[in-house]
Amino acid sequence: MSEMPEAIVIADTSCLIVLSRLNALPLLRSLYRKIYITEEIAFEFGDPLPDWVIVEPVKEKQTFQILLSILDIGEASAIALALELKDVLLIVDEFKGRREAQRLGIKITGTLGVLVKAKQHGLIKELKPILNQLDLAGFRIAPNILTEMLKQAGET
C-alpha cells in the first residue's frame, strides 16, 4: 500500500507569531513536518526560523500584485504561493485572507484549527488554558468560535 503524498502546508505570519509567543512553534513540525512560507512572511515574522520552515519565493508576481490590492503583504504572498504549489493547506487567520483563499479554492485552517488538531493528536493536554493565553496575548476569539473549538477538542 502506498503512502499518502505529504500535503504542502503554508503558514501566514499571524500563525507563526501566535505560536511563537506561546512557545508552541514546534507543534507545526509535529503536525505537518515541513512548513512553507514566503520571503514576505519571513520578513514580517522577523525572528530566526527553524530549519524545517522552508522559505519559498513567490514566482507569479502578477497574481501577488493583484492579491496585494486587497490583502496585506503576508496573506497576499501566502495565497499567491498556495496557487503556485497547488493542493496545499493554508494556515490563515484574518477574515479577508480566509475569504479570498476559499474563493480561490484553497483549503484553509487557522491557528485555532492547528491547536485543536494538536489536542486531537495528543500533542497538548488541554486547549482551554492555551486559548486563555491567546486572549491575554491579544488574539481575539469570538465566543461562538471559542465554544466550537473547545467542543472539537472534546472540552465542553
Q: What is the pLDDT of residue 7?
A: 75
pLDDT of residue 6: 60
Instruction: Please state whether 126 falls in left (phi above 0), alpha (psi between -120 and 50) or beta.
Output: beta
- Does residue 137 lie in a domain region? no
Q: Give me the phi and psi of 95, to 5 degrees please.
A: -55, -50
Across the range 66-81, mean pLDDT stands at: 96
Which contacts of 135-140 are long-range, i.e. CB under 8 A and separated by 24 or more positions? 137/18, 137/21, 137/22, 139/18, 139/111
Q: What is the pLDDT of residues 30-67, one digit of tens each?
A: 999 899 999 999 999 999 999 999 999 999 999 999 99
Average pLDDT over residues 144-153: 88
Angle (CA) 38-42-47 rounded to 5° is: 165
Residue 28 domain flag: yes
**How many residues appear in the chain?**
156
Domains: count for the chain: 1
- The whole-number pLDDT of residue 3 equals 38
CATH assignment of the domain containing 83: 3.40.50.1010
Q: What is the pLDDT of residues 108-120, one digit of tens each?
A: 999 999 999 999 9
Q: Would residue 142 count as lying in a domain?
A: no
Domain encompassing residue 73: 8-110
In a domain, 22, yes or no: yes
| Average pLDDT of the chain to the nearest whole number | 91
